[in-house]
Amino acid sequence: MLGLGDGQTAAALIACIGITVIGVIYGAVNWNSGDSDGEVRRRKRRRAAARRRRKKKKHNR
pLDDT at 61: 65
Distance CA 13, CA 15 (A): 5
What value does the mean pLDDT take over residues 19-32?
91
Q: Is residue 23 located within the same domain as residue 45?
A: no
Distance CA 12, CA 27 (A): 22
Q: Is residue 1 located within the same domain as residue 26?
A: yes
Domain with 23, as residue range(s), is: 1-30
Contact yes or no for 35/43 (Cβ under 8 A): yes
Q: How confident is the model at residue 59 (pLDDT cuts 50, 70, 90)?
A: confident
Look at 19 and 31; give whichever has higher pLDDT: 19
Q: Is residue 44 located within the same domain as residue 60?
A: yes
Q: How confident is the model at residue 25 (pLDDT cuts 50, 70, 90)?
A: very high
Distance CA 57, CA 45 (A): 18
Residue type, 35: D
Q: Is residue 26 located within the same domain as residue 41?
A: no
Q: Is residue 23 located within the same domain as residue 43?
A: no
Distance CA 10, CA 16 (A): 10
Number of domains in the chain: 2
